Amino acid sequence: MKMMLVDDEERFLSTTQKLLAKKGIEALTATSGSEALENLRTQNIHVVILDVKMPGMDGIETLKQIKRQFPLVEVIMLTGHATVESAVEGLKSGATDYLMKPTDFQDLIEKAEEAFEKRKRLEEKIRVARTRTFMKSPREILRETEKM
Amino acid sequence: MPMKQGQYAPKSPMRRIILASMILVPLITFVLILGIGYYYFATSIETSTLASMKRIVEDHRQMIDSFLSERRANLEFVLQSYSYDFLADPVNLSNVFERLEKESNAFLDLGIFDEEGLHVAYQGPYKLVGKHYGKEEWFKEVMKKGYFISDVFLGYRRIPHFIIALAREEKGKKWVLRATIDTYMFNELVKKLRLGRTGESYILSTAGVFQTERRSGGNLMDKEPENINYPSPQEGIKTFIKEDIRGDAYVYTTTWLKNKKWLLVVRQQKKDIFKALSSAVYWIVMITMIGSGAIIGIAFYLTDRIVRRMERMDTEKDRLGDQLIRASRLAELGEMAAGFAHEINNPLQIIKSEQTLIDTILGELKERGEIKESEDLTELEDSVDQIKLQVDRCAQITQSILKFGRQDEIQSKDIDLLSFIPEVTKMVANKVRVNGISLREEISEDTPPIHGDPGQLQQVLLNLFNNAIDAILAKHGSKGGQLSIETKPNVNGKVAIIIRDNGCGISPENQKKIFSPFFTTKPVGQGTGLGLSVCYGIIESMGGVMEVESEEGVGTTFTITLPVSA
């Protein structure tokens, strides 16, 4: 599993990165939405932990961009707000799950793994579908998968 | 906003203005109406009375004048019809007199005089034949002018009478016919006029002597005591007011008789004439007094009511203002707190991550045997645990603050309290039972539905239940607790939900602060002090009111009043 942490708090990024590394999980970090998108373009990332409130491009906007450009990437929203409002908005825009600050590292890992499992299942389905309908374009395949 | 004490106190300008205008406006109108009414009434009475007096005096004068001219015409007829010689015969004179008496019984006697004034023949009650009248004024006058009417005089007979004399020239010799008019008859004729109670009429000679009796005092031939002004002979009817010797004011109307020798006087006491007016004045004064009293009384009463009403409205306004300020302050505070809590969450997140890292590294070090178990290590681990604990506590606080300041999408709908309240009590039923508290539900069958967000209302009720349970446990432990929830049906479109406990109660000074955010009596770490202020805000946003009533050591009652769903 390859993860990416997106937050404007660098210390949070580095510490969490270390913790993840100790768990054997490779994690990239990005301090802004655009940096995150840049990383997604260059590397194969499975799960993104995305802070809702960031300067510049905020979490929701970044999420929408990610989902548009990299539909297969699983995104977990990290919200500082106790209201589920922003989380709900995130979920509506395609986020897999949400976490509330201050979040427990254990929770973070659990949710990330869940998301990764989901991603894996999805990829498996795509693979199976692709072998069946080799004539179809990936976009159509994806759409069909979503219907299932 | 402070209450403006004494704004409407008895001597406040506002009160004075209201009172003054409430008294003066109707009173001035009232007095003006009465005054104007009185003025026109008085004027009209005066005019009509004077006009009728003038008419009466005129009629009366005509009647008296015609009486006198008739008598003169009677005598003229005798004078022209018979010769001196014929009438000088007493038998003939007696016959003529008899006929004359048939004409009018005003004639007392009849006499014939020769040129020299010798009484030649006489028919009447006295013996006057042979008496000589040549030197008498009346005789000279009649010889000169051919006609004479005397004032009332006593003459030889020593009784009041007046005479009418006529002269005729026959065969170069003048002779005179004289008749005496019964003053009693004439008197009655003049006197018979009556006006009101004191109206009377009489005749005065040019010398101011009564020619007829005056009913109110004034004998025949007496001097008139008031010395009224005589009009000039050309003047017609004259009206004036004069006081008599007793001091009573009289309204006089005078007119000359045709002969210009006698003045007909009709007079009436002024107060008699204006009797109607004085009774009107009496009533006007009475009505003014009673009316003014009523106006002033009503003014005081109404002013009192108005002022009290204004005071009530002011208090209401102040209260509403207070509430508004309180509500907006709460909202501001909520927003601020939310922003603050949100910002705190970021550093908390970092602390938590760091703590996790320390924990992990410590674990690894121990695993690898790089640090040995020691007292210091245990202390270090305990300290790290404490960091985690405190961060979690902070997180809990920020969560509640955010909940307090949150602007959730409210999903309002009709809530049927009959089913809703039992659902909520079910949630606390277990906790209640475990703590040995008896829970009583009294939901009146006719409790109307209300409108609001069910989640919010549930939050409020649960909060109140939890507070109540805490209060009961503080007082009774797990025995003898009593908790009740009841509803009161629709009163003026409001429904009341009452939650009552027999817990430790709230002190009066704490009751004042109970709805303020961050106010709590619970030990550190067990309450954020936001619960009730959130509840208060929720009930207020539903258009309701939340009130507390409590007695220390006896119990607490929370009353939520909500508008009935429209």
What class, spelled out in words, does domain B413-563 have in CATH? alpha beta
Kindly state whether residue A59 falls inside one of the protein's structural domains: yes
CB A58 within 8 Å of CB B399: no
**Residue B415 C-alpha from the chain's centroid:** 53
Smallest Cα distance from B506 to chain A, Å: 31
Tell me, what CATH number does A47's domain have?
A: 3.40.50.2300
CATH code of domain B186-275: 3.30.450.20
Question: Domain containing A39: what range?
Answer: 2-102+111-117
Beta strand pairing status for A74-79 and A47-51?
A: parallel
d(CA B331, CA B405): 7
Judged against a pLDDT cut of 90, whether residue A147 lies above it is answered with no
Token look-up 């159509």 returns A140
Instruction: Domain ranges for chain B, please list them.
Output: 186-275, 331-405, 413-563
**Residue B64: closest CA among B139, B162, B171:** B162
**Residue B169: closest CA among B83, B77, B75:** B83
The residue that leads in pLDDT, B4 or B532, is: B532
Buried b (16+ CB within 10 A) or exposed e, B196-205: eebbbbbbbb
B385-to-B14, B150, B345, B391 alpha-carbon distances in Å: 71, 153, 19, 10
Residues of A with CB under 8 A from a CB of B: 9, 11-12, 15-16, 18-19, 22, 53, 80-83, 85, 101-105
User: Measured between CB atoms, does B352 come within 8 Å of chain A?
Assistant: yes
Q: How many domains does chain A have?
A: 1
The letter for the amino acid at B534 is V
pLDDT digits (tens, 9 = 90+) for B106-150: 888 889 998 888 888 888 888 888 888 888 888 888 888 888 888
Average pLDDT over residues B222-245: 83
User: Measured between CB atoms, does B348 come within 8 Å of chain A?
Assistant: yes
Judged against a pLDDT cut of 80, whether residue B530 lies above it is answered with no
Smallest Cα distance from B423 to chain A, Å: 24
Kindly state whether residue A122 falls inside one of the protein's structural domains: no
Q: Which residues of B are less than 8 Å from A80 in CB distance?
A: 342, 345-346, 349
**Residue B442: closest CA among B424, B464, B418, B478:** B418
Smallest Cα distance from A76 to chain B, Å: 16
Would you say the ipTM is above 0.95? no
Kindly state whether residue A134 falls inside one of the protein's structural domains: no
Number of other CB atoms surrounding residue B381 within 10 Å: 15
pLDDT digits (tens, 9 = 90+) for B360-404: 999 999 889 888 888 988 999 999 999 999 998 888 888 777 766
Smallest Cα distance from B406 to chain A, Å: 7
Q: Which residues of B are less than 8 Å from A12 in CB distance?
A: 346, 349-350, 353
Q: What does the pLDDT read at residue A40?
A: 93
Judged against a pLDDT cut of 60, whether residue B4 lies above it is answered with no
Q: Which residues of A are less than 8 Å from B360 in CB distance?
A: 19, 22
Kindly state whether residue A126 falls inside one of the protein's structural domains: no
d(CA B114, CA B167): 10
**What percent of chain B lies above the pLDDT cut of 70?**
95
Q: What does the pLDDT read at residue A81?
A: 65
Q: Which residues of A are less than 8 Å from B358 in CB distance?
A: none
Judged against a pLDDT cut of 70, whether residue B481 lies above it is answered with yes
pLDDT digits (tens, 9 = 90+) for B409-466: 567 788 888 888 988 888 888 888 888 898 898 888 888 889 888 888 888 898 899 8
Q: What does the pLDDT read at residue B521?
A: 79
Instruction: For residue B359, give the chain A residue with the closest CA.
Output: A19
Asked whether the beta carbons of residue A102 and residue B352 sit closer than 8 angstroms, the reply is: yes
Q: What does the pLDDT read at residue B475?
A: 86
Kindly state whether residue A147 falls inside one of the protein's structural domains: no
Asked whether the beta carbons of residue B349 and residue A85 sit closer than 8 angstroms, the reply is: no
Q: Which fold has domain B331-405?
A: Helix Hairpins (1.10.287)
pLDDT digits (tens, 9 = 90+) for B301-337: 999 999 899 889 988 888 887 777 776 776 677 777 7
